[in-house]
Structure 1
Amino acid sequence: MNGSLHSSPNVVDIQLKRGPAGLGFNIVGGVDQQFVVNDSGIYVSKIKEDGAAGLDGRLKEGDKILAINGVKLEDQTHKSAVELFRTAGEDVLLRVLKKSSHHMNGPTGSQPEYKSSMSALGVLGVLAGVAALFGFLYMRHLKKHF
């Protein structure tokens, strides 16, 4: 690898040894099947716990694979990227852009977690408001009877 491909602290090289079940992860993306808006890159969609990638532990779902054995994955169709993985041999070197280093528009980004936490806070706020309203009405009702 010559370093010209995304020289960033969030870009890492991961060496994997193909196991009996392959490399142990699934990919999505490609120029014909964009997974992230305006990005035709190849992304890790699923890690199999007992596969080579799962046992290694460094590759994560949502990571973008920039290259395999020095072959850049940009401008590849999904099918051609899958073929590169299948024919990569037993020892495979992946250049990976870690998920946390970029803002993704797809389902693996951090936005859904943020939205769900905001939804939970919103529900709690509404419940607190309803409880306060009932408390106010109850207290007002009691004052009328005394």
Structure 2
Amino acid sequence: MNGGVDCGLSEEVINLTRGSSGLGFNIVGGTDHQYIVNDSGIYVSRIKEDGAAALDGRLQEGDKILAVNGRDLKNLLHQDAVDLFRNAGYEVSLKVQHRLQSQNGPVGPRGDGEPGGIPLAALLVPALAIAVAAVWAFLRYRQRM
């Protein structure tokens, strides 16, 4: 958790037109595969590049989908939610809950192997290598004296 990050929630209705690759996003969650502990909601796990959701631009990874075409997604198994999306038709209305964040940094896990910053090891390993080389050079120099 990022200690100083304030976050809130906002809701929005997003209307998408199904494209050649569907709605253009993946979901996680459900009563049988909770994405967040004690929350069986359905969340956007990935926005597909050039898909309907990416072209619209409002749906974001980490958003919670509350309803599809007016149908509440509470207490659904993951596969039932997937089936609901697949059978939602050509024009799809999503009621979405966005997580708002302050400018202090990311709100939660980024997922999909995306780094949130520079890993500490990426800074320490080169610094250690330089220190070892400097000590080795110093010792070689002292031996010649």
SS at match of 2:85: helix
Please state how far the C-alpha of 1:30 moved relative to its aligned partner.
Answer: 0.7
Are 2:23 and 1:26 aligned?
Answer: no
Are 2:139 and 1:140 aligned?
Answer: yes
- Cα shift readout 1:71-117 (whole Å, capped 9, x = no counterpart): 22121111221232233333322122235659556835xx9624x62
**RMSD between aligned residues:** 3.1
Q: Go from structure 1 to structure 2 and tell me whether the alpha carbon gap of 1:9 and 1:52 turns closer, same or farther (over 3 Å shift).
A: same
Are 2:118 and 1:117 aligned?
Answer: yes
- Larger RCO (alpha carbons 8 Å, 6+ apart): 2
CA distance in 2, matches of 1:134, 1:20: 56
Please state how far the C-alpha of 1:131 moved relative to its aligned partner.
Answer: 1.6
CA distance in 2, matches of 1:21, 1:140: 63
Query: Are the counterparts in 1 of residues 28 and 45 from structure 2 also a CA contact under 8 Å?
Result: yes
- Counterpart for residue 4 of structure 2: none
SS at match of 2:118: helix
Gaps of 5+ in 2: 1-7
Map 1:81-92 to 2 at 5 A. 81-92=81-92
CA distance in 2, matches of 1:47, 1:106: 12
CA distance in 1, matches of 2:125, 2:59: 40
CA distance in 1, matches of 2:22, 2:107: 29
- Counterpart for residue 126 of structure 1: 125
SS at match of 1:117: coil
- Counterpart for residue 93 of structure 2: 93
CA distance in 2, matches of 1:13, 1:67: 9
Gaps of 5+ in 1: 1-7
- Counterpart for residue 111 of structure 2: 107
Q: Percent identity, please.
A: 46
CA distance in 2, matches of 1:57, 1:34: 26
Map 1:18-57 to 2 at 5 A. 18-19=18-19, 21-57=21-57
Structure 1 runs of 4+ aligned residues shifted over 4 Å read 99-106
Determine which structure has the larger helix proportion and give its number: 1
CA distance in 2, matches of 1:46, 1:100: 18
Please state how far the C-alpha of 1:42 moved relative to its aligned partner.
Answer: 1.0
Please state how far the C-alpha of 1:26 moved relative to its aligned partner.
Answer: 2.7
Q: Go from structure 1 to structure 2 and tell me whether the alpha carbon gap of 1:38 and 1:113 turns closer, same or farther (over 3 Å shift).
A: farther
